[in-house]
Amino acid sequence: MKKEVKKLVSVNVMVVEDEIIVAKSIQERLDKLGYSTPVIVTSGEDAIKKAGEINPDLVLMDIKLTGDVDGIAAAEQIRHRFDIPVVYLTAYGDSETLQRAKITEPYGYIIKPFEERELQSNIEIALYKHKMENKLKKSKEHLQNIINSTSEIIISFDENNRLSTWNKAAEFVTGYAQNEVIRKHIYKLDVFYKPQEVLDKIKSISNEKRVGFDELILKDKNDAKRIIKVSYSSVRGDKEEGIGVLFVGKDITYERETQGKLISGNSYFISDESDEFSLDLFMNLAKSGYKELLITRANSESMKNKVSTMGIQVVLLKETKLEEFENITDLDALINKIEEFIKNANSLILLERIDYLLTRFSFEKFVETLYRINDIISKNKSILIVHLNPSLLDKRQMTIIENELQPLPNKNIEDIEIEDDLYDILRFVFEQNQNNLMVPYKKIRQKLSIAYSTTSIKLKILEDKDLIFIKKYGRYKTVHVTEKGKILLNKKDKNYIHKLN
């Protein structure tokens, strides 16, 4: 009884063989094995043309073909242009032919004469390998899209200290395109301010398995320094061997410029519903030679992760004592802790999440405490930063705090009036920033349907009022809302809601 072969679903094999009798024999074998052979081609030129027309799943290609294009040349074109796997068929097994064939990266190599089992196994392996390669390619394309769409700078080096990842955010910050820097050794890159220090850092990271934090100093194409706050980690292979180093970070140059304007002996406030800016500012200042104290109500585990590697002292505004941290339960204890901490000058304190104190004690008692703390800060030439959520205070309370504390330099919004269309731009940029999206001029023009010249004029007005700052990287310009701009937007929203009520 003849054994039936189960037909394979939708597997089309194109046969390229210039000896028609041999080609027919191969076609019969393929049909017996359950494959479909839609066409037999006898030349390399026709093989390339037909591959583009019928798009077979696989090509069986004889190496020695008559004409100007042999099997190897045809296979190279088919693989490059159509991404179709090719398995070679040949009666020649000499090393020179094999070496030339390897360059085209075939999916199989069958020496004539061959058995049906050998033919089938080569075809199945080639199809599976091609399928897995395509899955890997799609995964890598997807990953690359994520890497390029994030606003964070992503840089990586391979085990030979060559740059292996350089995303769009890195391009924006420095002005260097990916093709200008990728696969180059660190010593051949102008973008790093001190290459030897970076190389030493890479070597030390390669021996670590933990994630750490540091700064990279980059140079843009105008030779201006950019300060990048990064987290770093080593990249490990299958056997846990170090195969590279990854840096993920953001440009904090603007924040550092703000830091340089803070004056010892002064107390400042940050009015923001989010604590992100105040924490970033505090942790960046912590690297400038200050003795640091963080007083917070925020999640203890979160704080521990952020500050443990930096040696920052943390005190929690909690009733319950936790093993890792000291805690404060009342206003007198708060004053005593600050007074004890800043016996020596050059101290930096962030009082964060004061809503806890405002709900447990009266506003009047809190303000009285704030007066005393402010005097202590002034006397000891230290710096206090108070983060408050403006949505939790009424206008009178906000005015009292603003009279006692100072806004960050260039963050005062009193008497600022802008037209509604400028508010529209400011709000759009802020929303994009909040979603970690870059905002080039083109994006603003398209969103608000205005001309380039109009966009430039309106952005210049916002920039002059310190409501936005513009980063220039080569021919690109990206727009970012300043803290002052955020405060103005928040004030605008509160006034609007008040009018509705």
Mean pLDDT of the chain: 82
Instruction: Give dist(CA 371, CA 386) in Å, integer.
Output: 13
| Tens of pLDDT, residues 166-176 | 998 898 888 89
Instruction: Give dist(CA 371, CA 357) in Å, integer.
Output: 15
Task: Classify domain 13-140 by CATH number.
Answer: 3.40.50.2300
Q: Which residue has the tokens 């190389």?
A: 199
Triad 238, 242, 245: Cα angle to 5°: 120
Type of residue found at 289 = G
Query: Which CATH fold topology does 150-251 show?
Result: Beta-Lactamase (3.30.450)
Report the CATH architecture of 261-407.
Answer: 3-Layer(aba) Sandwich (3.40)
Please say whether the beta carbons of 148 and 170 come within 8 A.
Answer: no
* Domain edges within the chain: 13-140, 150-251, 261-407, 420-500
User: Can you tell me the mean pLDDT for 88-105?
Assistant: 73
Name the band, by pLDDT with cuts 50, 70 and 90, for residue 64: confident
pTM, full prediction: 0.45
| Tens of pLDDT, residues 205-238 | 877 766 677 888 898 887 778 888 888 888 887 7
111 CB-near residues (< 8 Å, 6+ apart): 90, 91, 93
Rounded (10°) CA dihedral 278, 280, 284, 290: 40
Pairing of strands 225-236, 212-219: antiparallel
Instruction: Give dist(CA 267, CA 67) in Å, integer.
Output: 85
The pLDDT of residue 242: 77
Instruction: Give dist(CA 421, CA 419) in Å, integer.
Output: 6
CA 350, 355, 361, 363 dihedral sign is: positive
The pLDDT of residue 183: 92
| Tens of pLDDT, residues 109-151 | 888 888 888 899 889 988 988 888 888 777 768 777 777 777 7
CA-wise closest residue to 407 among 257, 272, 254: 272
Q: Do domains 13-140 and 261-407 have the same CATH topology?
A: yes
C-alpha gyration radius of the chain = 33
209 CB-near residues (< 8 Å, 6+ apart): 234, 236
Instruction: Give dist(CA 447, CA 252) in Å, integer.
Output: 27
Instruction: Give dist(CA 269, CA 32) in Å, integer.
Output: 81
> Which of the pair, 497 or 379, is modelled with greater confidence?
379
For residue 3, what are its two tokens?
A: 């054994």
Report the CATH architecture of 420-500.
Answer: Orthogonal Bundle (1.10)
Pairing of strands 40-41, 383-388: unpaired
The 313-316 sheet, strands edge to edge? 326-327, 313-316, 291-296, 347-351, 383-388, 267-271, 406-407
